[in-house]
Amino acid sequence: MAQFNWYQRILFSVMLCVAAAAVVFVSSGDILAAEGMAQEENILDRPLEEIVGQLAPQNQLTLFPCSDCHNDLPPNPKKRELGEPHNELPGIFKHDAKNRWCLDCHDMRNRDKLRLLNGALVDFKEYYRLCEQCHGRIYREWKVGVHNKITGHWKGEKQYWHCAKCHNPHDPVFKPQKPAPPPRKPTEIYIKTKK
């Protein structure tokens, strides 16, 4: 067995410590790298279509394409009462109505498109990009299915619901409903129906 003197021993243990530290450092580097990977794979960054799998059918627009009429109409950005066919809309419009008007969301020149705050145009079927601008947190929760309704299969095909199925963009408050009848009280749980 080889004999070591004191400084060889110290040198040896220092080397051991350095080696151990290096191992720890490298492996923690690995962990960080792995975390980076995990972050890259963040569910929120994936394309919407992939996450929400399949969106349930969208609302059927009754007036689309808008250009059928609007190609021949001079655009009028003035906030006002509207005649046919939109005579009801200004009345129900309650979405920050004090500060907004139709053409904050609908494009003035190309009525078949929606308009983001930065001026970019998006299709009606991507209307949710509109909502994302102001309701970012809820939009994220919608994307992962929390602020959402998912039907179909927990294992298998799912359908995610559109914001516009639950919130009318012009009057977005979730509409109150009549509740189904309350349960019978224990004292009347059994109702004799015959004789």
Partner 1 sequence: MSENKNTEHRAQKTDITRRKFLAGLAACASALSLPLNADASMLEEYFRQHFKRLDKDELNTILKNLEKEFSQKYEKAVTVKATPAMEDVLFGYTLDVSRCIGCRKCVYACIKENNQSRNPQIHWIKDLEFKRDEKWFHFKDSEPYYDPPEVPQKGRFYLPVQCQQCKNPPCVKVCPVKATWQEPDGIVVVDYNWCIGCRYCMAACPYEARRFNWGKPDIPKEELNPNMHYLGNRPRPKGVVEKCTWCIQRTREGRYPACIEICPTGARKFGNLLDPESDVRQVLDNFRVFRLKEDLGTNPKFFYFFSLGTHIKAK
CB of 56 to partner 1, least distance (A): 11
**Quick one: DSSP state of residue 97?**
T
60-99 footprint of ligand HEC as x/- string (CB under 6 A) = -xxxx-x-xxx--x-xx-----xx-xx--xx--x-xx---
Residue span binding partner 1 (CB under 8 A) among the ranges 4-12, 15-23, 80-88, 142-150: 142-150
39 near partner 1, judged by CB under 8 A: no
173 near partner 1, judged by CB under 8 A: yes
Radius of gyration of the chain (CA): 31
Q: What is the footprint of partner 1 within residues 82-101 (CB under 8 A)? A: 94
Residue span binding partner 1 (CB under 8 A) among the ranges 2-10, 66-74, 109-117, 173-181: 173-181
Q: Which residue has the tokens 């990977």?
A: 37
Pair of tokens at residue 169: 């963009």
User: What is the spatial distance between Cα 87 and Cα 38, in angstroms, rounded to a whole number?
Assistant: 51
By DSSP bridging, strand 113-115 and strand 121-123 are antiparallel
Integer CA distances (angstroms), 185 to 152, 180, 194, 195, in order: 35, 15, 20, 22
Residues in contact with partner 1 by the rule CB under 8 A = 43, 94, 141, 144-156, 161, 166, 173-174, 176-185, 189-191, 193
